[in-house]
Structure formats: structure tokens, C-alpha cells
Amino acid sequence: MVQGVSMTPEALIAAVTRIRATGVATAKDVLASLEREGAGVTLSEVKKACSKVAKRTTTANEEPAACVSPDPACSSTYSPRSSPSDVRRKLASMGVSDHAAERQSVDAAMEEKVREQNRTHRKVRREGIPVVHLSGTAFGMVGPGLPLPDGVPASFALKQVASTAFMEGRSFSGERLGNLKSERLYREYFDDLVADRSTWLGFFEHRGNFQHAENTCGILGTLATIYRQRGALDDCELVLDMEAEVLARYERCSVGAEAAQVNCCEVLAYKYRMIRYNLCLQRARFQDCAGLYRELAGHEARRDFSFDESNYLFMIPVVLNKSPTAAVLRRLSDAEVLRIVKAPLERPGGVEFQNSRMQLRACSTCHAQEPALRTFMPCGRCRAVYYCGKECQRKDWKAGHKERCQPCDG
């Protein structure tokens, strides 16, 4: 039986953070301090809170970029049984709202939809059925053999190919990015957006093309994340600047639109800001972070994010010892927001920016770097070395890899 005053999870987290800041390290010692203060908590509660605090303040946030509702352009090609309008009707009947429970059931439905789509994608690929990119746009149908309607960018096919690849790797809840093997395709599409900028942005301006804008935001968010987690911050910023342009148009297209579209648009804006926040943090642009923090935490407050779901709001109790509510957030001073932004950096060890992820490989023979993730192939036997091509593999084999190569045992 635990004696003393019980605490809410947020209050406990705040107390644990405060006590640990004084140098108390173990959960048992934290518990002893809490008991001296008259709190009634168990050791397991304290342990849980300690691990949450540790986890939350030492790593930069993951930035899942993948969240798009199924693109009719692509899903109609693969999944003739359930059309996107079925999904939208289902969403509308479920009523997309800001309440957590309803949100979760909607997310679960979408998650299942995405899983089914991915299954179909894999099946199509396994059976070698050629992929036909037939797509509806506000200016008419686009597909192989059809004349390109006025207003559709000349390289529209790049968008279709990138979307298809992207969807194979995403999950609606955003735990995973798009298909990372497709970095090259995302980049080709991005380069075309830059080269033919005014045509593309004019295309996204049209309400009837919102789904294409939505997909593009997902693709650019994924590409920006790959670059940031590689430490290629200039590239990351260029891609984010383009995503901001597309997102602005998607947001204008979504004013007064149906609930599912508005919901998706808000989630994409949240994820875009998350990547931008991490980029600014890494570049020590704390003022920019502060502005983004208010928007990110505001989104989480409006949607009743729980402690576990929250990436930003939870910092209010942890750093400032205040309740994580929308009203408290609005009243925070700029200095308080800056304290939150800088808090992870002040911890021993600071923030881990995950720069070691998404690294490109080098050819074992000529040391050239691969142009995009997973474009070089490993030695089929040991899978320990990579080559830019057959020529380099042959050379290395003769030069001594033959003796060193051991079959990998999986």
C-alpha cells in the first residue's frame, strides 16, 4: 500500500526531471526523494517516468514524413476492389475529429487500407504485371499513349513513379518513411520540380489536383529527412523550401474541403514543421525553433495528444513544470519557449542528430560514392562489400577479395 499524495503522469515526469537535474541518478534514489516530499508513488511508476524522461530528452525527434491518404491516381491502378472514394466515404461516416479515440479508429482504418495497398503492390511486382500509371488530374486523364492535357507538367510521369515507390514504404501512422530505396526517384522528381517550378506550382494551385500536392509533400518530406539524417543540411533545406511551396498550395486547396482532406493536410503540415524544427535545431537557429515549437505543440494540444504521442507538448511539464494545455501554451513567454527548445542540448551528451543514418556507401574498388541510398550492390556471397558495377567487382575479386570472401550466414 502506497502512502502519500498521488500524482498525475505529467506531474510525476516533471518531478522526476527536477530531481534528476540535482544529480540523483537511480530510480530508487528518485523514489526516496519523492517519498520525503510526501508523494505516493511506486518504484515501477518512477522507473517508467525515468526512462521516459531519459528517452525524451536525449534524442532528437524522429520525423516521419509518410502520411498521405491513398492517391486515386495510384490506388486505382492496383486495387480495383476498393476505390478511394469508398475510403473517403468511410472516413466521413466515421467523422474525422480531434478526439483521440475517434482519431485512432480512423487511423486504424487508414492503416489497414495502406497495408492492403502495399500487399497489392508486392503481388503486382511479384507477378511481373506491368505498372500502368493512369491518373486523373484537374486538366484531364494522364496515362501512357494519351496526349498530355494543357496545364499538366511535361514530366508528370516522374511524379507517378515516385509516388508509387513512396507508397510501398509508408505507413499511415507515420512510423516509417517512404521506401528509402527510392531516394533516386524522389530526387529526380525534386529536380524536375525545381527545373519546371512555375508549371508544377500552377498545377498544385488547382483544387482538383490536391491529391497530387498531398503525395508530393510526403515524398519531399521523406527526401528532406533522408538528407537531414545524413547531415546534408543544405540539401535538406532546399527540399524543405520546395515542400513549403507545395504545402501552401495544398493548404489553400483544402479550405472548406471534406474532413479527411483537412485532416491529412494538417498532419502533413505538422510533419513538415517537425523536419524544419530539427533542421533549425541542428543549425542552432533557436528563434526559428521557438516559432515552430508553438505551432507544433499547438497542433498536439488541439488534437489531445497523449504523453506518448506527443513530441513537443510534453516538454512543458518536463522543462517548465506547468500543465501541457493549449491555454498554458498560449501564455508561455518567448523566453520560456526558448528554454524548452534548448533543454535537450543542455543535457550531458546533448542531442543526437542521427547523422550516422542514411549514409551512402562507397565502392570497395574505386571508392566512388553511391549517388543515392542502396544503388550499389553488395557482393552476393559475403554481402560485406559494395561495388559500383560488375567491372569493379571483377577487379576486386582478382585482387584478393576471392581469398577474404566468406559466405554470410544470414
Q: Are 211 and 73 in contact (CB under 8 A)?
A: yes
Binding residue for Zn ion (CB under 5 A) from 388, 390, 393, 403?
388
- How far apart are CB 361 and Zn ion at their closest, in Å? 11
d(CA 26, CA 19) in angstroms, rounded, equals: 10
Does 379 interact with Zn ion (rule: CB under 5 A)?
A: yes
Does 316 interact with Zn ion (rule: CB under 5 A)?
A: no
- How far apart are CB 359 and Zn ion at their closest, in Å? 17
Of 71 and 370, the one with the shorter C-beta distance to Zn ion is: 370
- How far apart are CB 394 and Zn ion at their closest, in Å? 11
- How far apart are CB 369 and Zn ion at their closest, in Å? 10
d(CA 95, CA 89) in angstroms, rounded, equals: 10
Cell numbers found for residue 296: 507544433
**Sole window of 9-17, 247-255, 330-338, 373-381 interacting with Zn ion (rule: CB under 5 A):** 373-381
Does 382 interact with Zn ion (rule: CB under 5 A)?
A: yes
DSSP 127: T
- How far apart are CB 381 and Zn ion at their closest, in Å? 5
Q: Are 392 and 366 in contact (CB under 8 A)?
A: yes
Binding residue for Zn ion (CB under 5 A) from 131, 284, 366, 399?
366
Coil, strand or helix at 322: coil
Does 289 interact with Zn ion (rule: CB under 5 A)?
A: no
Run of H or E residues at 142: strand 140-142
Of 357 and 394, the one with the shorter C-beta distance to Zn ion is: 394
Of 117 and 365, the one with the shorter C-beta distance to Zn ion is: 365
Q: Is 101 exposed, middle or buried (0-12, 13-18, 19+ CB in 10 A)?
A: exposed
Q: Are 344 and 351 in contact (CB under 8 A)?
A: yes
Of 278 and 365, the one with the shorter C-beta distance to Zn ion is: 365
Binding residue for Zn ion (CB under 5 A) from 183, 365, 372, 393?
365
Of 357, 378, 375, 362, nearest to 184 by C-alpha is: 375
Size of the site for Zn ion (CB under 5 A): 9
- How far apart are CB 20 and Zn ion at their closest, in Å? 48
CA torsion angle 128 79 192 153 (round to 10): 120
Q: Where are the alpha helices (DSSP H) in 233-258?
A: 233-253
Binding residue for Zn ion (CB under 5 A) from 167, 185, 226, 363?
363
Binding residue for Zn ion (CB under 5 A) from 16, 96, 247, 392?
392
Binding residue for Zn ion (CB under 5 A) from 294, 381, 395, 397?
381
Of 248 and 377, the one with the shorter C-beta distance to Zn ion is: 377
Does 408 interact with Zn ion (rule: CB under 5 A)?
A: no
- Gyration radius from the chain CA atoms: 24
Amino acid, res. 235? D
d(CA 143, CA 140) in angstroms, rounded, equals: 10
**Sole window of 24-32, 181-189, 343-351, 386-394 interacting with Zn ion (rule: CB under 5 A):** 386-394
Of 94, 28, 63, nearest to 275 by C-alpha is: 63
Interface residues with Zn ion (CB under 5 A) are: 363, 365-366, 379, 381-382, 388, 392, 405
